[in-house]
Amino acid sequence: MKNNIELQNVSKKYKDFELKNVSFCVPEGCIVGLIGENGAGKTTTIKSILNITKADGVVKIFGKDNKKEESKIKEQIGVVLDDSFLSDYLTAKQIHSIMKDVYKTWDENKFFQLLKQFQLPTDKMIKDFSSGMKMKLKIATAIAHNPKLLILDEPTSGLDPVVRNEILDIFRNYIEEDETRSILLSTHITTDLEHISDYIVFMEKGKILFHLPTNELLENFGIIKCGKEDFSRLEEKDYINYKKEKYQYEILTADKSNIRKKYNITTIDKPSIEDIMLLYIKGEK
C-alpha cells in the first residue's frame, strides 16, 4: 500500500513548545484521525506537512519532498484550516471565479453541485453565513478541484450533529469515489473518528503516543473497573494508566484479553477514543 503522506522525525522548536521527532504515515484509501489536547502539536504538524511551518525532518507527499516539490504537490491537495482565508465580502460565485484560475483541475460542475447539496446560496456574502454554512463552503472549495489528499483541521468544530453527519458523509463518499485518495483529519470530536477513521494518531506535548488502526484500538483497549485488592495484583507492565475513584479504580489497558486470562478479571468496559485519550492524559501510573 502506498502512502500519500509520510513524516519522518519531524521536529520544530518554539520558545514554549517543541514538536519532537513526529513520524507517521497516511496510506492511500484511508482516513487518519489526529487527536490530542489543545497545544499537543496537531496544528503545528499539519502546517509542517503543508510547509507553512518550516520544520526539521522529512515530509513526503505522494512520495515527493514537500519543500523541494511544493508547487507540484499543492495542486493535488485540498486544505481546510481554522484560519483558512475566505473573505467575508465574497460570494460563493465569486470564490468560483477566483479558484478556477488557481487550480488547473477546478471542476465547476462539482463545486455548484456541492453548493446545491449543502443548500448554500451562490450570491449571498460569506459574512451573512452561519458557522456551519461557512465550514460547508470551505469543504466544497477544498474538494471541487478533485484533490488526491484532503488535510482538515477541526472541520466539524462548533457544528450541530446534523451538519456534522452531513460533512462526515461527504468525507466517506470522497474516499469511496477513488481508493487512491486519503484524508488527514485533526479534531477534538473523537466520536466522529470512531465512525469514519481507519487509523488514529494520538499526540501529547509534541510527541506521538500511539499510531494504531481504529478497529484495533477500540477492540483491544479496555477500561478495567475493580477494587483495591484486584488493582494491587496487577503488574505495571499490563496497564497504561489508572484513575482512583471513590469506590473503585479505573485502569486503562492496551490488551484486555490478557487481563482476563492472566488475572481472571472480567469487569472490563469497551472504551471510546475519548475515554482512552482522557485516561492517557489525566491518569496516574
Percent of the chain beyond pLDDT 70?
99
pLDDT tens, position by position, 52-91: 999 999 999 999 999 889 888 988 999 998 766 678 899 9
Global pTM reads 0.93
Q: What is the mean pLDDT of the chain?
A: 92
- Which set of grid coordinates corresponds to residue 84? 483558512
Residues of the chain with CATH 3.40.50.300: 3-216
Pick from 71, 7, 38: which is nearest to 187 by CA?
Answer: 38
pLDDT tens, position by position, 94-104: 999 999 998 99
Q: Residue 117: in which H helix or E strand, if any? A: helix 108-117
Dihedral angle of Cα 228, 232, 235, 240, to the nearest 10 degrees: 30
**CATH number of the structural domain 3-216:** 3.40.50.300
Q: How much is the pLDDT for 83?
A: 65
* Matching residue, cell 462539482: 110
pLDDT tens, position by position, 191-204: 989 989 999 999 99
Instruction: Check whether 271 has a pLDDT greater than 80.
Output: yes
Q: How much is the pLDDT for 84?
A: 65
pLDDT band of residue 158 (cuts 50, 70, 90) is confident
pLDDT tens, position by position, 213-249: 999 999 999 999 999 999 999 999 999 999 998 889 9
Instruction: Check whether 2 has a pLDDT greater than 70.
Output: yes
Instruction: Kindly give, in sequence order, each residue whose CB lies less than 8 Å from that of residue 268, ignoring residues fewer than 6 positions away.
Output: 222, 223, 224, 225, 253, 256, 259, 260
Q: How much is the pLDDT for 235?
A: 94
Q: How much is the pLDDT for 164?
A: 86
Mean pLDDT of 254-282: 93
The region, left, alpha or beta by phi > 0 then psi within -120 to 50, assigned to residue 154 is left
pLDDT tens, position by position, 13-47: 999 999 999 999 999 999 999 999 988 999 999 99
